[in-house]
């Protein structure tokens, strides 16, 4: 329920398989339950009129989260016209559900709460004449000639951009265990959507699986909403997230059980009980160590996977990186992929965090500006890009808590010369510009 | 500190804080309220630095562990309000009858001055009861100063209002 999965599929106004986490409440709305996937009706169905528009723009930003919005703003400030496409009716991506204060420096929005950063971005974008946002829409394909197909609410766009920033984010991982399809088992991001974005208390007592920052933060937010958090379980011998986030839940009495995982959930039609088990150093369950918790919620915070289908479809050369959560496009230090003028930024470039996503958005936008804008703007953009990259790599990512993401991102970054060789060997089937 | 016990437990010990110069020295504690920054990791954050009104907190780089100049700190608690990690506390163990602790608080109900609250340690264990003496707010983080039994100044790290 972060807008990427099928967990909340229902029939909305007669149309099946609608993501209800992305449906604004409106007059006359009819929502019906559906069971499993409903195949599309056979034959042609009359769905009413669809408006068709062709749009030319300097920069297309796919995904309006922290990376995409910072890219859009930076590019517009440098004189480019920008179109932002986002699936949600509100821009901000995962920032919308982040109620905790962000780390960083004042210039990097440190001290602001995530949703406040989203509000600030929405305000700046709303007052920019160069940025056009197409909400509630999705890129469905990229075609030869660099045309990008977008479907929105009763509208169909074909966009011809000179450059594209793919800031498509990530989706939550799921976990195998007995009865994991019982209602009450839900992604941590999904609960953040329900609870923090829409103000609905998701249950009375919870078990959180995974102690990365997402797991720790959501445990704290559950406590704030009045949900009892019985425990956070972590399969590794150490807590995954930052100490300060762990300390915040510990001091309100939430145990963090390292070297434990979830074995099963039980209940009649919904989660009523969760069973956890200790694991040895090879992650094998230790028989006899099972513990049961009376809970009605089991939150999975077991990592994210970059959403990179757009890049694959364009023929960008991809690399598998466990440190980054999966398959990501190779990129130059300027974040250009092997598809010329296609840039990657944010979690789509490898799972990291929101502040680095913002900085990557700036880098991607400035790269585009350095190629598309007039000479003086281009050279200023290059200078700024160098500065941001230097800070990002040499100062920000020097933090030991970001070591894994840094290692991953190093492993998928190649020099511009190397990228030219890769392009010659694996020519992409589409190009922009 | 990859092998630190706080990475396993989420609880940082006074010894671990002292090793990082994050524990106020004894003679400074005797003088009055002073900050304890329970911030033992090199996370990329320096929000406490620009907000400190006496420039008592120093960081050369964004990822540094904060360094406190103990004699400059006046124990005002502004860092308690602004720290994104909710890792800043003010302790006053200088009085003979009671200790005082200032903690961040982001739960409803918000305690009011005069309320009796449950005192929690770093493990979330109830260690006693205290009386709220000051409450203020900044960007939805409430800063609560609570009077606690003598000897609990370095123990108490949260308060809980019984419903």
> What ipTM, to 2 d.p.?
0.97
**In chain A, whose CA is at the least distance from the CA of B121?**
A251
Question: A254 touching B, CB under 8 A?
Answer: yes
For chain A, give every domain's residue range: 1-42, 52-171+305-425, 174-302
Residue A46: per-residue pLDDT: 64
Return the percentage of chain A with pLDDT > 70, whole number: 98
pLDDT class of B3 with cuts at 50, 70, 90:
low
Question: A52-171+305-425 — its CATH code?
Answer: 3.50.50.60
Q: What is the pLDDT of residues A149-170, one digit of tens each?
A: 999 878 999 999 999 999 999 9
Q: What is the pLDDT of residue A90?
A: 95
CB contact under 8 A, B38 and A247: yes
| Residue among A106, A250, A253 minimizing CB distance to B50 | A106
Closest CA to A241 of A212, A216, A218, A202: A212
Residue numbers in A near B87 (CB within 8 A): 244, 247
pLDDT for B7-60, tens place per residue? 999 999 999 999 999 999 999 999 999 999 999 999 999 999 999 999 999 999
B86 contacts in A (CB within 8 Å)? Answer: 244, 248
| DSSP states of A322-350 | GGGTEEEE-B-TT-B-SSTTEEE-GGGGS
Residue B1 pLDDT grade (very low, low, confident, very high; cuts 50, 70, 90): very low
Q: What is the pLDDT at residue A45?
A: 62
Q: What percentage of chain A carries pLDDT values higher than 90?
A: 88
Residues of B in contact with A101 (CB under 8 A): 84, 139, 141
Q: Which chain A positions have a beta carbon within 8 Å of B5's beta carbon?
A: none
With b for 16 or more beta-carbon neighbours within 10 A and e for fewer, the A268-300 pattern comes to eeebebbbbbbbeeeeeeeeeeeeebebbbbbb
Mean pLDDT of A246-271: 98
Q: Cα distance from A138 to chain B (closest Cα, Å)? A: 34
- Search chain A and give the residue with CA nearest B81: A111
Pick from A223, A254, A401: CB nearest B42: A401
Adjacency order of strands within the sheet including A31-32: A15-19, A9-12, A31-32
Contact B11 A250 (CB under 8 A): yes
Contact B122 A355 (CB under 8 A): no
Strands A51-62, A82-85: pairing is parallel
The pairing of beta strand B116-120 with beta strand B126-138: antiparallel
Q: What angle do CA A195, A197, A199 make, to 5 degrees?
A: 45
Confidence of residue A43 (pLDDT cuts 50, 70, 90): low
Q: What confidence tier does B2 reach under pLDDT thresholds 50, 70, 90?
A: very low
Which residues, in sequence order, are CB contacts of A316 under 8 Å at separation 6+? Answer: A329, A330, A337, A338, A339, A342, A428
List the single residue in B8, B84, B120 with the smallest CB-CB distance to A237: B8
Enumerate the H helices of A144-212 as residue ranges.
188-192
Q: Would you say the pTM of this structure is higher than 0.90?
A: yes
Tell me if A52-171+305-425 shares its fold with A174-302: yes
Fold of A174-302: FAD/NAD(P)-binding domain (3.50.50)
Residues of B in contact with A252 (CB under 8 A): 120, 124, 158, 160
User: Whole-angstrom Cα distance, residue B27 to residue B10?
Assistant: 29
CA-based R_g, chain B, Å:
15
Q: Indicate if the pLDDT at residue A3 is higher than 80.
A: no
C-beta atoms of A111 and B139 within 8 A: yes
Structure tokens at A341: 């003028």
Please check the confidence at residue A37 and state whether its pLDDT lies above 80: yes
pLDDT at residue number A126: 97
Do residues A318 and A433 touch, judged by C-beta distance below 8 A?
no
pLDDT tens profile A313-372:
999 999 999 999 999 999 999 999 999 999 999 999 999 999 999 999 999 999 999 999
Q: Check if B6 contacts A (Cβ < 8 Å).
A: yes
Integer Cα distance of B11 and B124 in angstroms: 10
Query: pLDDT band at A18, cuts 50/70/90?
Result: confident
How do residues A166-213 score in pLDDT, each as one tens digit?
Answer: 999 999 999 999 999 999 999 999 999 999 999 999 999 999 999 999
Average pLDDT for chain A? 95
* Separation in Å, CA of A278 to nearest CA in chain B: 15
Predicted pLDDT of residue A429: 87
Query: For the purposes of burial, counting CB atoms within 10 Å of the CB of A202, is it exposed (0-12), middle (13-18) or buried (19 or more)?
Result: buried
Q: Is the pLDDT of residue A44 over 70?
A: no
B63 contacts chain A (CB < 8 A): yes
When scoring A100, A225, A247 by the number of chain B Cβ atoms within 10 A, the one with the most, hence best to mutate, is A247
What is the model's pLDDT at position A42? 67
B158 vs A245, A246, A251: nearest CB: A251
Subunit contact B41:A250, Cβ cutoff 8 A: no
- Hey, of B45, B81, B125, B127, which one would you mutate to test binding to chain A, going by the most A CBs within 10 A of its CB? B45
**CA-to-CA distance for A331 and A342, rounded, in angstroms?**
10
Reported as type and span, the H/E element at residue A223 is: helix A213-224
- List the one residue out of A362, A313, A332, A413 whose CA is nearest residue A70: A362
Report the chain A residue with the minimal C-alpha distance to residue B40. Answer: A243
Digit-coded pLDDT (tens) for A369-413: 999 999 999 999 999 999 999 999 999 999 999 999 999 999 999
Q: Which of B10, B82, B84 sits opposite A247 (nearest CB)?
A: B10
Q: Is the pLDDT of residue A40 over 80?
A: no
Per-residue model confidence (pLDDT) at position A2: 72
* Contact between chains at A103 and B45 (C-beta distance less than 8 A): yes
B99-128 pLDDT, tens per residue? 999 999 999 999 999 999 999 999 999 999
Residue of B nearest to A248 (CA): B86
């Amino acid at each position: 329920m972060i807008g990427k999965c099928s967990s909340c599929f229902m029939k909305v106004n007669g149309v099946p398989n609608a993501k209800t986490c992305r449906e604004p409440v409106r007059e006359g709305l009819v929502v019906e339950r559906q069971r499993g996937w409903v195949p599309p009706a056979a034959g042609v169905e009359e769905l009413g009129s669809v408006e068709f528009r062709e749009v030319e723009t300097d920069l297309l930003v796919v995904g309006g989260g922290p990376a995409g919005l910072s890219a859009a703003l930076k590019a517009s400030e440098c004189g480019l016209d920008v179109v932002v496409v986002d699936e949600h009716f509100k821009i901000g991506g995962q920032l919308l559900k982040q109620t905790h204060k962000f780390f960083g420096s004042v210039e990097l929005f440190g001290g602001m709460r995530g949703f406040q950063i989203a509000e600030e971005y929405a305000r700046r974008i709303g007052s920019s004449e160069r940025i056009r946002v197409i909400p509630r829409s999705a890129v469905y394909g990229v075609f030869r000639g660099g045309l990008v197909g977008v479907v929105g609410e009763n509208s169909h766009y074909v966009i011809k951009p000179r450059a594209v920033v793919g800031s498509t984010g990530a989706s939550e991982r799921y976990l195998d265990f007995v009865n994991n399809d019982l209602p009450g088992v839900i992604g941590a991001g999904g609960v953040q959507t329900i609870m923090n974005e829409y103000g609905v208390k998701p249950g009375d007592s919870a078990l959180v699986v995974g102690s990365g920052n997402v797991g720790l933060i959501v445990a704290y937010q559950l406590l704030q909403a009045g949900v009892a958090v019985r425990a956070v379980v972590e399969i590794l011998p150490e807590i995954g997230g930052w100490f300060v986030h762990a300390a915040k839940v510990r001091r309100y009495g939430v145990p963090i059980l390292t070297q434990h995982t979830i074995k099963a959930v039980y209940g009649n039609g919904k989660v009523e009980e969760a069973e956890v088990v200790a694991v040895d150093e090879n992650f094998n369950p230790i028989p006899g160590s099972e513990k049961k918790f009376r809970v009605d919620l089991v939150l999975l915070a077991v990592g994210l996977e970059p959403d990179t289908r757009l890049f694959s479809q364009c023929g960008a050369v991809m690399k598998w990186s466990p440190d980054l959560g999966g398959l990501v496009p190779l990129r130059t230090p300027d974040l250009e992929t092997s598809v010329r003028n296609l840039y990657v930024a944010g979690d789509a470039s490898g799972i990291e965090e929101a502040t680095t996503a913002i900085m990557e958005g700036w880098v991607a936008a400035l790269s585009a500006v350095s190629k598309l804008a007039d000479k003086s703007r281009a050279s200023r953009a290059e200078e700024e890009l160098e500065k941001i990259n230097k800070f990002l790599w040499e100062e920000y990512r020097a933090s030991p808590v970001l070591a894994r993401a840094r290692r991953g991102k190093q492993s998928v970054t190649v020099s511009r010369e190397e990228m030219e060789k890769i392009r010659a060997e694996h020519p992409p089937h589409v190009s922009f510009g | 500190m990859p092998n630190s016990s706080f990475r396993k437990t989420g609880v940082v010990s006074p010894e671990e804080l002292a090793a990082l110069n994050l524990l106020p020295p004894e003679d400074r504690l005797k003088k009055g309220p002073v900050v304890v920054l329970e911030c033992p990791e090199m996370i990329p954050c320096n929000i406490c630095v620009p907000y400190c009104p006496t420039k008592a907190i120093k960081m050369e780089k964004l990822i540094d562990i904060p360094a406190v100049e103990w004699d400059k700190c006046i124990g005002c608690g502004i860092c308690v309000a602004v720290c994104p990690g909710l890792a800043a506390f003010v302790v006053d163990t200088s009085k003979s009858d009671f200790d005082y602790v200032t903690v961040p608080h982001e739960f409803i109900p918000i305690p009011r001055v005069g309320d009796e609250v449950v005192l929690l340690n770093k493990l979330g264990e109830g260690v006693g009861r205290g009386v709220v003496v000051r409450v203020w707010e900044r960007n939805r983080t409430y800063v609560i100063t609570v009077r606690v039994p003598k000897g609990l100044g370095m123990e108490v790290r949260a308060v809980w209002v019984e419903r």
